[in-house]
Amino acid sequence: MNTVEVQHVVKTFADKVAVDDLSFSVAPGEIFGLIGPNGAGKTTTLKMMMDIIKPDSGEVTILGEKLSEATKNKLGYLPEERGLYKKQRVLDTIVYLASLKGMSERSAEEKANRMLEQTGMLPHARKKIEELSKGMSQIIQFIVTTIHDPQLLILDEPFSGLDPVNTESSIKMVLDLRNQGKAVILSTHQMNQVEELCDRILMVNKGKAVLYGGIAEIKSRYKNNSVRLDYEGELGELPGVTDKRVYKTHVELFLDDKTSPQQLLEYLLSRGIIVNRYEIATPPLNEIFIKVAGESNE
């Protein structure tokens, strides 16, 4: 059973179609990327999943049923616009919000202390929220979102504003949840993190699905006929190569339609070129994002 099933969902506001016949699923133990330009319909989709707003038509099921109060306790939601009780102490805040998700005070406090220690935040447990830096506050918000062991975690721009250390701590927590069989939906503009973390993605634009599938499959679908080469020697003119881009660690060679990567490799070796690395190049996800967004705007 999929953790999330969204089927033919439509949502309009006045005369604007925010989400237009959107369908997708999210499996247990999967990090699923929901991406798209600003105003594409991502946040509206997340709000319908959380039952904050209702779809005009279509259906959303979470853990095999429509969202109920019992199901909501199995969800963790980290909104893009975050807020904690600034005058309250860190530990008290976590325990109180965990109790709203059905945890006892004792178990909430025990787990809060454990998670604070894991993230290096235990020395700040007695501080007020307003005494924390922005990055520290976001770590606390992340703990609040995950402390009740949700089956589904919905993260909207979770790493925005975090320094590298806190980003790494947050990423580790997300990966731990996936390894425990939880489903994670990640909505972000940071394509490098989507590429690093996500198993599958859905890209929406103007409320419609424009790209859906596994990261590796999508990158393969949009690949150029090009190779990445790290070498020693003089390349000179290469038959079948139409263009060349030089990077610090390698060159990317673009081939014509008649030349295969295997043919080029054989030619390089016959010329005595020392090949340290040779691989078929796939475009970064950010490049695909820009291409697909442009095509869907035409």
Q: Which pLDDT score, from 0 to 100, does residue 27 have?
A: 97
Q: Which pLDDT score, from 0 to 100, does residue 223 have?
A: 85
Q: Token digits for 128?
A: 């007020």
Residue 140 shares a structural domain with residue 191: yes
* Kind plus residue range of the DSSP H or E element containing 19: strand 16-26
Instruction: Compute CA distances 58 → 18, 23, 40, 164, whole Å.
Output: 14, 9, 18, 40
Arithmetic mean of pLDDT over the chain: 91
* Closest of 246, 227, 75 to residue 152, by C-alpha: 75
Asked if residue 298 is part of any domain, the answer here is: no
**Helix, strand, or coil here: 138?**
helix
Q: Which pLDDT score, from 0 to 100, does residue 163 have?
A: 82
Asked if residue 287 is part of any domain, the answer here is: no
Q: Record the pTM.
A: 0.84
Residue 89 shares a structural domain with residue 108: yes
Q: What are the pLDDT digits (tens) for 54-105?
A: 999 999 999 998 888 888 889 999 887 667 888 999 999 999 999 998 899 9
Supply the range of the domain harboring residue 156: 4-219
Asked if residue 62 is part of any domain, the answer here is: yes
| Domain termination site, one of 219, 238, 262 | 219
Domain count, the chain: 2
Position 237: which residue type?
E
CA torsion 255→256→262→263, rounded to 10°?
Answer: -120
Residue 121 shares a structural domain with residue 97: yes
Q: Token digits for 91?
A: 């530990």
Domain harbouring 171, CATH code? 3.40.50.300
Asked if residue 293 is part of any domain, the answer here is: no
Residue 211 shares a structural domain with residue 232: no
* Closest of 22, 1, 26, 27 to residue 12, by C-alpha: 22
How far apart, in whole angstroms, are the C-alpha atoms of residue 124 and residue 132?
8
Residue 213 shares a structural domain with residue 257: no
Q: Which pLDDT score, from 0 to 100, does residue 31 have?
A: 97
Helices (H) and strands (E) in the chain, counts: 10, 13
Cβ neighbours, 10 Å, residue 216: 11
Q: Which pLDDT score, from 0 to 100, does residue 298 have?
A: 60
- Pairing of the two strands 200-205 and 183-187: unpaired
Residue 175 shares a structural domain with residue 274: no
Residues with pLDDT less than 50, the chain: none
Residue 209 shares a structural domain with residue 234: no
Residue 132 shares a structural domain with residue 154: yes
